[in-house]
Amino acid sequence: MLELNTQQIDGKVVITDINMPFGSMVRFMVKATLAAIPAAIIVSIVIGLLYWLLAVFLTGLQTNLQR
């Protein structure tokens, strides 16, 4: 069972306490860790593609400037 104690101040919510059993917290952290692996793979592929496009653009730009 998860209990949250919250306060609302000026339209913002402030979490002051989370009462969660240890086993549930461990299970949640394991699931979050496993979910982060595919996300990290996707982000690294996107960043790799952006670097590759930048390298192709700069190589083509350098070749055109040398002519």
* Domain parsing of the chain, residue ranges: 3-66
pTM metric for this prediction:
0.58
Tens of pLDDT along 11-55?
777 777 888 899 999 999 999 999 999 999 999 999 999 999 999
3-state secondary structure the chain: CCEEEEEEECCEEEEEEEECCHHHHHHHHHHHHHHHHHHHHHHHHHHHHHHHHHHHHHHHHHHHHHC
